[in-house]
Amino acid sequence: MIKVEKKIAGTTLRIESGQIARQSGGAVVVTYGETTLLACANCSKEPREGIDFLPMQVEYREKHYAGGKIPGGFFKREAKPTDNEVLTSRLTDRPIRPLIPKNYRNELQIMLTTLSSDGINNPDIIAAIGASAALLLSPVPFDGPIASVRVGFIDGDYVLNPTKEQMETSDLDLIVTGKKDKVCMIEGGSNFVPEKVILEALDFAMAGINDIVDLQLEFEDQFDNSYEIDDSKPLSDEIEKSLNKTYASKIDKLFDIQGKKEREEAYNDIVKEASDPHVEDELIYGEVKTHIKTMFKDAVRKTVLDKKVRVDGRGLEDVRQITIVPSVLPRVHGSALFTRGETQAIATTTLGTTRDQQIIDSMDSDYKKSFMLHYNFPPYSVGETGRIGFTNRREIGHGHLAERSLKPILPSQEEFPYTIRIVSEITESNGSSSMASVCGGSLALMCAGVPIKEHVAGIAMGLITDGDQYAVLSDILGTEDFYGDMDFKVAGTKEGISAIQLDLKVPGLSMDVLSDALNQANKGRLHILEEMNKSISSPNELSPHAPQIVSFPIDKEKIGGLIGPGGKNIKAIQEQTECVINIEMMEQSVFLLQIRKN
């Protein structure tokens, strides 16, 4: 067995291999404190044919036995992945995917299993470390290692990898994943801290990331591992030159088309014209399509860098036209239609009581949620057909980001004793639908009469790079997300940031680029907030269709008399008044009597 370890933020991080899962292509056990995770990385021996993407699957699972618990439910075993497991899987997938060659087509599966949880150290950052170390031992060509750390901001001080208890008083929950001296991914939320705090936190995180990267390199040096990369080109130079000569000018004309649908139709006509002569040769046929896509990608990037003009004609910092219709639906408690360019969301707010709270059965503890945001992305929003009836990982991830963006602005349960559910229905999409959900959700909260003091807005930033030259784009289109190097989402109020998410298609970014992107995002966010305030700037009265709730403390000794023998008294009161009465135990044994009338 081979083992390395190092103190990170005062706690021992240990990586070992050779005792467990010895038949796996790459397998490591990572322990931080007394939280232990098994990471296994395996790939198929042959590439998968007929695809033009990396077939990678990352699966994170928590075992209840890790926290000394037996799962709830009838079957008493772990079932489908929880939202937290899906989100942790995405936290690991997102920074790894850009570090594997674009032409790699072998099936790749990374399994991450929490075997022990101390309830102190969160396994989400350990998962990325384990996946990285397992890939280093596997035959997969991986441009790593990477490392993840969490940064808190407590009483004005930055804290590396704070405990779960410390996080309860932190104004910042920031997960940073990176390579040596470069940021690869960011995921976080905060209580409206300014951009300066975020940038300092990112800089603070790099020391911890570098230490963990060095530990993995020390670990890798003890193994003899190698891999091969297929650099062959299916297309001949003659075919490439012919395609470039014939279609370069036609691709340039796509920039004269403003609408997404019309531009896509014109692009598809070019692809069909170029690929149809090769329809009998499946390999060449697919590669011609790929080459046309590359030509369009290069044209998009070159136009931005050279002319400072984007595919829809906007400047680098321009935000698309915004239209807002508050209270767009008649019977719901609160609603708003938010449209930004060709991205549109109908957001609704529904109010309920404590009985409507979501019960979470997790590995370490059970708890209730009084605020939920659900994001739905139907196929019709992009003019397509597709499977419906289940929530995919992307919808869970986007919903979580929007929920995190709005949560800090909500009143406490003592101020507003309602359970709140926001649903964002994406009805049109051309980039940044999660940020449209943030804006729409904020508007719907005010329309529902939720006493929030100000709006939260979100914006997605993009990036085009070429060596040392780069351009930051505000309010990106789907095309700019697909062909660009960055998807950087920032949400908050005029005072500061409430949520942040960064995904890259390049190996990493410098702090200078991140600083420019954050400052430009602030300008865009303030513009969007101004437009939102023109529509509705203070909460409405509570909807007559919403439940009317009164909540006040009750002495513990009087609860028995209120309920009566067998619940006789409370049932009679509810029947006579047509109300629902709940008795809730709050913190420090304080009981609240809650009366609801629809």
- Tens-place pLDDT, residues 323-338: 999 999 999 999 999 9
CATH superfamily, region 2-220: GHMP Kinase, N-terminal domain (3.30.230.70)
The pLDDT of residue 584: 72
pLDDT at 36 over 90: yes
- Tens-place pLDDT, residues 473-492: 999 999 999 999 999 999 99
pLDDT at 372 over 90: yes
Question: Residue 371: which residues within 8 A CB-CB, separation 6 or more?
Answer: 403, 406, 407, 410, 419, 420, 421
In this prediction, residue 561 has a pLDDT band, given cuts at 50, 70 and 90, of: confident
pLDDT at 345 over 90: yes
Instruction: Provide mean pLDDT across the span 269-279.
Output: 91
pLDDT at 228 over 90: no
pLDDT at 18 over 70: yes
Please report, in angstroms and rounded to a whole number, the separation of the first and last CA atoms in the chain.
Answer: 64
Instruction: Provide mean pLDDT across the span 284-307.
Output: 92
State how far the alpha carbon of 174 is from the alpha carbons of 57, 148, 160, 364, in Å. 24, 10, 10, 21
DSSP H stretches of helix in 169-281: 195-220, 237-252, 260-275
Q: What is the Cα–Cα distance from 294 to 292, expressed in whole angstroms?
A: 5
pLDDT at 580 over 70: yes
DSSP summary character for residue 357: P
User: Measured at the alpha carbon of residue 248, what is the angle toward residues 244 and 250, in degrees to the nearest 5?
Assistant: 135
The pLDDT of residue 589: 47
- Rounded mean pLDDT of the chain? 93
The pLDDT of residue 588: 46
Instruction: Provide mean pLDDT across the span 58-68.
Output: 97
Instruction: Provide mean pLDDT across the span 456-472.
Output: 97
Question: Residue 394: which residues within 8 A CB-CB, separation 6 or more?
Answer: 377
Q: What is the Cα–Cα distance from 504 to 462, expressed in whole angstroms?
A: 10
Which carries the bigger pLDDT value, residue 497 or residue 226?
Answer: 497
The pTM assigned to this predicted structure is: 0.92
**CATH for 548-597?**
3.30.1370.10
The structural domains of the chain, with segments of one domain joined by +, span: 2-220, 237-306, 322-535, 548-597
Secondary structure element (H or E) that encloses residue 292, with its range: helix 282-307
- Tens-place pLDDT, residues 511-555: 999 999 999 999 999 999 999 999 999 999 999 889 888 877 888
The pLDDT of residue 278: 86
Same fold, 2-220 and 322-535: yes
Per the listing, tokens 């998807």 go with: 487
Which of 323-327, 577-581, 584-588 is the least confident region?
584-588
Cite the beta strand spans of 118-246 per DSSP E. 147-154, 157-160, 172-179, 182-193
- Could you tell me the fold of the domain covering 322-535? Ribosomal Protein S5; domain 2 (3.30.230)
Q: What is the Cα–Cα distance from 417 to 353, expressed in whole angstroms?
A: 7
Domain 237-306 annotated CATH 1.10.10: yes
pLDDT at 593 over 60: no
- Tens-place pLDDT, residues 307-316: 999 999 999 9
- Tens-place pLDDT, residues 134-191: 999 999 999 999 999 999 999 999 999 999 999 999 999 999 999 999 999 999 999 9
Q: Are residues 301 and 466 in contact, defined by beta-carbon separation less than 8 angstroms?
A: yes
pLDDT at 200 over 80: yes
pLDDT at 229 over 70: no
Cite the beta strand spans of 439-505 per DSSP E. 457-466, 469-474, 486-492, 497-504
Instruction: Provide mean pLDDT across the span 239-267.
Output: 92
- Tens-place pLDDT, residues 92-128: 999 999 999 988 999 999 999 999 999 999 999 999 9
In this prediction, residue 590 has a pLDDT band, given cuts at 50, 70 and 90, of: very low
Considering the chain, what percentage of its residues have pLDDT values greater than 90? Answer: 79
pLDDT at 38 over 50: yes
pLDDT at 594 over 70: no
